[in-house]
Each structure stands twice: as structure tokens, then as C-alpha cells.
Amino acid sequence: MIKTFITSFKLKNTYRTNSIIYSIKQFPIIKKILPDSLYKNSGLKIFANIISILSEIIGIFIGKIIYILTMIFMALSWYHTNQADTFIHIFTFLTLAGGVLNTYMLNPTKDKYYAIILMNMNAREYGLSNYYYQLIKLVVGFLPFTILFGMIAGVPLWIQIALPIFVLAVKLIVMNYSIYDFKKTNKASNENLPTKFVWGFVAVCLLLSYGLPAINITINVTVFLVVFIISLILGIYSLIKIHTFTDYRKMYKQILTASNVYMAENNAGTQAMKDISLKQIELDKNYTSNKSGFAYFHDLFVKRHSKILTKAVKKQSVIILIIFTAMIIGIEVNEELKNRTNEILMKYLPYFVFIMYCINRSSSVTQAMFMNCDHSMLTYRIYRTPKVILGIFKERLKTLITINLMPATLIGLGLAVLLYLSGGTDKPLNYMVLFVSIIAMSIFFSVHYLVMYYLLQPYNVNTELRSSTYKTVQGITYLVCWFMIQIQLPTLYFGIATIAFCVVYSLISLYLAYKYATKTFKLRV
Amino acid sequence: MKLVVKNLKKNFGKKEVLKDINFEFEKGKIYGLLGRNGAGKTTFFNCLNEDIEINSGEFYIEDNDTKRKMEAEDVGYVLSTPNVPEFLTGREFLKFFIDINKKRIKEEKTIDEYFDFMKIEKEDRDRLLKDYSHGMKNKMQMLVNIIANPNVLLLDEPLTSFDVVVAEEMKQMLREIKKNHIIIFSTHIMELALDLCDEIVILNKGVLEEIDKSNLNNEQFKNKIIDALKEEG
């Protein structure tokens, strides 16, 4: 088993190293300097290897610190309950939710696909050795931060140490149950496609973890001790069962299909990615168009993709309406919530940058545009003439902005109404700024993703995402939006600054798109 | 009308795929482009279609002794793997292409006449292209390129996915339209090239050379081509 693990680790490291070199070569200026023989260059290989190993080590800790800091530690300030108990309480319920959502073993990753399906490695040895490695990383990654943040929150030392072991035990129990279920039904569960039961369980856990402390109920040290001992016993039993299970190949053959792996990696490319995109096309005989030329072409694209376009934003809008209705009822009956809401609306507008980022459809829409449309059409020279490129760009921009504006308008109006009902403000301009800044953010994301798509066209002929610049821009966009969560600023100032930024950014990027898209919008060969 | 290629070079890193291409392709002829795997046939087409940038050289259209740049409308490119927008029906795809090529179409036919020309059955015309077979997608790709009426038609192994009956129909169709186009036809199948093409051109060591058939019978001509191909590498 150790030999299998070493082979698999070397394999993973090799393609990770090659991916790093490939990514470096995708940057516009660097690719002209670096030769193709780079993959043979031992100096650079060592450098990429070091980055690869460093990222593995950093990866052990970075996710855990962010998780404990944002999901648990920062939440403590919301409640008036005992800090130590609340820490243990939230950690326990989130661990239960995380246990069913993330098993490691049942995640159809590219590594497993390459090793088990393509290279025919021993599935049991591969699966188990990598599973144990992940579990060790889990405990090692959690321990420093359960100690650090646990100490600050006043959690007893033995619980600080027990918490990572509790996570480990829960993971083992869930995995053992999955194996038991597989033996019984002959159906392996893919952790990226959770069942309704799993989602329900997660929702209940989240509700209990954050909801109970709000009404001054938390589990205490004694309850945790009982839960921990039971988990530990079941965990040891599960470990034995997992270790003695033999039919891993059969189980993995079900999970490791090309399309599952694509979903997990989100960039496995090839036919699987295309197949998933094709499933998004709907043929309804009533969907026709009276337009002509590229307006006709685009109109049909929108109608045939209503599942990911109009229907998706309609669903979002309904959820937003429900949330706002619940909030309005809440602030009418609860004075504390009313005051807190007013405070949030006056200080936490930056948080909505992240929310608008999450609900914006532009990223998935541009992907569908490529997979189901531009991938084929860009091979026709006539489609790449400036008139057609800019004509279709204009139609797409109008559609993206309109679609994203539907939920944005609801959020903007909802926030203004909530501000009014929660006690209002002595500066009436705040109402306007709240509404307009949300609209501006929505337009910003629509323009941003479409312009990036046209200027960087990141996909190659095999439908693989191959632009490091595009990936970097996406990463920076996410980081900036995530960083906004941490900021508190008066709504008036932040809102005005946001509106100004969005207007200027959108104008500049549209200018760049009109100037350069006719040259940049083509297939990567 | 001629398509003139002069000193065309294309490198990928240090590898010179197209070394020095000099050739004149004339209207009214089908040119069979032969070459071994990796010889650079698709690269040559990608250069002419401006999918990739060339390192040096030029290509242009020469008509009545006047030379002009090859525009997007001048080129039609039919790939071996058919590329069609799968969210449209066959009829909608044709309508879109007719709309955007309106100015270039000399004698516009009805959409059904185009379908008849390409022998696409009535029941298939309003189906989504994603449900078309590989061969039917290829027919659609060929058809829209013909509708656009380009001066130069690049065909990258377009007949390999057709069954024998459809392949014969396509060959017949190409013979019918060749008088108005410069057709360059890349293939691995020598019999097909010999049967369909007026001239045989070999891409060998990054250079294009025409194989002269004069005074040779079919068998001798075939052997000459094979010898030329073997020289590569």
C-alpha cells in the first residue's frame, strides 16, 4: 500500500509540476520568452516541484484557518452565549454537515480518474492510502487552529485537541455508511451530487449550529464529551470496516466517469464538458424568433438556454423575495433584529459585493456560449468578421445585463425597503445609493465577465480552459469580492465609490472590447 | 482567379512545420492535398483561414492581374470534425447563414431547395443539430460553406465520415460547384484524391510540390505519389 501511495503521489506531483510550467507558459509575454523544451529543463522542473510541494503543505493549513476563522470564530461575536460553548457547538454541527458533504474518498477527482481508470492502479490500495493521507492532513491542518482559536474562546485544552479527532471520526462514520449503502444497493454515491436527504441534513445542521445560539441554546462540554466518545467508538469500528472492504474498484468505476470528473475539477475539458453543456439545450417548438442575422442567432441561443438563463434568475428572484419577506416579518416582530438590520444596511454594503458576485450568472453563461455556440462558430471565418463579432457582442451584453438585473433590482429595492422599515436614515440619499450601487455591481459583473471572455477567449479547440491570464483574473475577482466581506464602511461613501468605479470600469472595458475583441476573439489552436 | 501563396512559413517553437510554401491554386480545379500524419496539412489550412498567425510570407487573391488581400468572405473551411451550433435546428442554421451572407449569394434559393440540394430529408430539417449524426452535421457544414459562396473552399478530410452513398453524392456535388471555386481537398485516402481531384499536391518536409501526371498511367502515378510521400521524414 505504501508503494502504491508513493507512485500515486509521484504521479500527482508530475502532472501538477507540468501544469505549473504550462500555466507559466500561458501568460502573454512569458510564453514568447520561454521555449517549448521547458518541460525538459531540470532547473525549472525543480522550481515547479518546490511550488507544487509548497502548495501541498500550505493547502493543509490554509483552508482550515479560513474555515475556523470565518465560519466559527467570527460568528462568536453575533451571540451573547458562553464563547467556549458556542465555539464547541458551532464546530460540532458544522462537522456533521461537512462530514456528509466531504468524504474525500467519494470525490471523483482527476487524480483518482488517472490512477484507477486510465493507469489501472490497484483501486483499494490507491483509495485507502490516499484516504488515510487526507485524514492525516485533516488532523494536522485542524489541530493548530482548534488550539489557537479554541484557546482565545476559552475552550478547555483537551477539547481543543479532541475537536480534530472528532472531525476524523465523523468522516470515518460517514464513509463507512456509504460503503454499507453501496454493498446494499450496489450504487456508489458521488459526493458532488448530494441527495435531497443530504441537503436536508446539511440545512438542519446549519440551522442548529447558527440558530440555536441565537436563542441562547448551545451544547456544553458534557454533551460534547458524550458525542465525542460515541463518535470515537463508531469511528474505530468504521475504520476497521473501511480497511477490510475489498470492492473499491467496482465502487470507483461507478463514480469515476468522465463527466463526474469534469464536474469535480470544473476544467477537465474534452467531450465530458461538452456533453454537460449540450444537456442545457432545450428544444421547444414555440421558441422561434422574428429577428434576422445575428440578432436572430442570439435570440435563439437565449431561448434554447432558458434553463441556465431566464429560468435560473427567476428561481433566484423567488428566493430573494422569500428572504426579504422573512426579513420584513422578522424586523416587525423583533426589535433587536430591527436595530441590527439597520446597522448592517448602514455599514455592511461591501458584503453585498460578494453576494452580487455569487448570484451573477455571467461566468456560467459565457461558458455555455463557448461550449454550445462559439466553439463551433469560430471556425467559420465569416463569424470572426468585426461586424459579426461586435454585433453579437452587443446582443449578448444587452441580454446578460437584463438577465442579471432581475434579481439585482429586487435586492436593491429590498434593501431600500428594509432600511426604511428598520428605522430609516437621516440621510435620504442612502436609499438611492443602496439601490443604485446594487444595480451598478450587477452591471459591472455582467460587463466584466463578457469583456474578459471576448478579450482573453480562454478555451482551446478541445474546449479546455487554457488561459492562465483568464484564470488569474477570475481568481483575483473572487479574492477581491471575498475580501469585501471583511470591510465595514458607511453605505453612503462606499456606495458612491462603488457606483463611480463600476461606471468607469464598464466604460473602459467596453472601449477595450470594441477596440480589440475583433483580434482576440478566436479559437486557441 | 488564383490563390497565390508566397514564401509562407510557420513554426511551432523550433519546429518548422511549413518551411517555404510557394504555390498558385487556380479557380475551377480541385486540388488534392496529400501528406503524411503531422506533415502540416491542417496547419496550412489554419494559416489560410487565419486561425493562426504565420511567421512570414503572404497569400492573396489574384484576379485579372490585380492582387488583393484574402478577406474573411473569400474563405470557406470545412473541418473533418463537423462544427455546427448545436442549439439551432438545421433550418435555423441555414436561415442565419443566408441572412449574414445575403450580399454574396448570387441566386438565392429557398431553404428547402438548399436542403434538397444536399439531400437532407424533410423530417430532419427541423431537428436540433445536436441530434444530427456525424455525417449529417458534416453535410450541414459543407452546405453553409457553399451557401456563403467563398472563392476558396478548404476541405479537411470532409468525406471520411460519410457512408459510401453520401460520399459519392458529395463528390458529385463538388464536381458541380468547382467551376466557381478554388477547392483544396486534404485527404489520407489516395484513391479518393485520384478519383476526385484535378491536381495532386504533396506537402513534404514543409514544402508544397505538385505531382505531375503527364505520360503516366494511374498505377505509375500512384507509385510516384507513394514514393514522394515516403521521402518525407
Q: pLDDT, tens digit, for every residue of A101-141?
A: 888 888 888 778 888 888 888 888 888 998 999 999 999 99
Residue pLDDT, tens place only, A400-444: 999 999 999 999 999 999 999 998 888 889 999 999 999 999 999
pLDDT for res B190: 82
Task: Give the model's confidence band at A269: pLDDT under 50 very low, under 70 low, under 90 confident, else very high.
Answer: very low
Long-range contacts of the stretch B189-193 (C-beta < 8 A, 24+): B189/B160, B190/B34, B190/B222, B190/B225, B190/B226, B192/B32, B192/B159, B193/B32, B193/B34
Find the mean pLDDT for residues B145-158: 88
Is ipTM beyond 0.90? no
Average pLDDT over residues A138-156: 92
For chain A, the maximum distance between any two Cα atoms, rounded to a whole number of angstroms, is 73
Residues B13-41: what's their mean pLDDT? 89
The confidence score (pLDDT) of residue A89 equals: 93
Per CB-CB distance under 8 Å, the chain B contacts of A35 are 13-14
Residues on chain A touching B144 (C-beta within 8 angstroms): 380
Exposed (0-12), middle (13-18) or buried (19+): which is B192, by Cβ within 10 Å?
middle
Quick check: B57 pLDDT over 90? yes
Nearest Cβ partner of B83 from A283, A294, A376?
A376
Q: Which three cell numbers stand for residue A38?
A: 521547458
- pLDDT tens digit string along B153-176? 999 887 877 778 888 888 888 898
User: Would you say residue A268 has pLDDT above 50?
Assistant: no
Residue A181 exposure: Cα atoms within 13 Å on the Cβ side: 11
If you measure CA to CA, which chain A residue comes closest to B131? Answer: A278
Q: What is the mean pLDDT of residues B106-128?
A: 88
Which residues of A are less than 8 Å from B99 in CB distance?
292-293, 296
Exposed, middle or buried, A292 (CB in 10 Å: 0-12/13-18/19+)? Answer: middle
CB B98 within 8 A of CB B138: no
Closest-CA residue of chain B to A36: B13
The beta-carbon neighbor of B77 closest among A300, A379, A388 is A379
The pLDDT, as a whole number, for residue A241 is 93
User: Residue A371: pLDDT band by 50, 70, 90 thresholds?
Assistant: confident
- Picking from A292, A296, A525, the nearest residue to B52 by CB comes out as A525
Instruction: Find out whether A268 and A258 touch, Cβ atoms under 8 Å.
Output: yes
Whether A382 and B101 lie within 8 Å, measured CB to CB? yes
Q: Which residues of A touch B (CB under 8 A)?
A: 35-37, 278, 281, 283, 292-294, 296-297, 300-301, 304-305, 372-373, 375-377, 379-382, 384-385, 388, 522-523, 525
At residue B212, the pLDDT reads 79
Higher pLDDT, A488 or A230: A230
For an interface test with B, the pick among A279, A282, A379 (most B C-beta atoms closer than 10 Å) comes out as A379
Q: Is beta strand B2-12 parallel, antiparallel or unpaired with respect to B152-156?
A: unpaired
Q: Which among A297, A302, A303, A519 is the top mutation candidate for probing chain B, defined by the most B β-carbons within 10 Å of its own β-carbon?
A: A297
Nearest CB partner across the interface for A372, out of B13, B51, B87: B87
Tell me whether residues B88 and A372 touch, CB distance under 8 A.
no
The SS3 of residue A156 is: coil
Q: Which residues contact A328 (CB under 8 A, 6 or more apart)?
A: A417, A418, A421
| B32 compared with A267, residue with greater pLDDT | B32
Query: What residues are paired with B77 via a beta bridge?
Result: B154
Residue-averaged pLDDT of chain A: 86
* Residues A137/A139/A145/A150 CA torsion (nearest 10 deg): 170
pLDDT grade for A34, boundaries at 50, 70 and 90: low
**Chain B residue numbers touching A457 (CB-CB < 8 A):** none
Half-sphere exposure of A134 (CA within 13 A, CB side): 15
What's the confidence (pLDDT) of residue A276?
Answer: 63
Query: How far is residue A9's CA from residue A21's CA, in Å, rounded to a whole number?
Result: 18
pLDDT exceeds 80 at position A495? yes
Tell me the pLDDT tens digit for each residue of A205-262.
999 998 888 778 889 889 999 999 999 999 999 999 999 998 888 888 888 876 666 6
B2-12/B56-63 β-pairing = antiparallel
Contact between B87 and A301 using a beta-carbon 8 Å cutoff:
yes
Percent of chain A with pLDDT over 70: 91
Q: pLDDT tens-digit profile of A316-363?
A: 899 999 999 998 998 888 888 888 888 888 988 999 999 999 998 888
pLDDT tens for residues A96-110? Answer: 999 988 888 888 887
How many of the other CB atoms lie within 10 Å of CB of A153? 19
- Which chain B residues have any C-beta within 8 angstroms of a chain A C-beta? 12-14, 46, 49-52, 72-73, 75-77, 79, 83-89, 92, 95-96, 99-101, 128, 130, 144-145, 148
Contacts with B22 (C-beta within 8 Å, 6 or more apart), sequence order: B5, B6, B7, B8, B208
Q: What number of helices (H) and strands (E) belong to chain A? A: 22, 0
Name the average pLDDT for chain B: 87
Burial class (CB in 10 A: 0-12, 13-18, 19+), B51: buried
pLDDT digits (tens, 9 = 90+) for B34-51: 988 888 898 999 999 888
Interface A-B, measured as beta-carbon pairs within 8 A, has a size of 79
The nearest alpha carbon in chain B to A280 belongs to: B87
Residue A275 pLDDT grade (very low, low, confident, very high; cuts 50, 70, 90): low
- Neighbour order of strands in the sheet with B207-211: B75-78, B152-156, B182-186, B30-34, B199-204, B207-211
Higher-pLDDT residue of B204 and A39 is: B204
Nearest residue, CB atoms, A373 vs list B14, B85, B128: B85
pLDDT reported for residue B233: 46
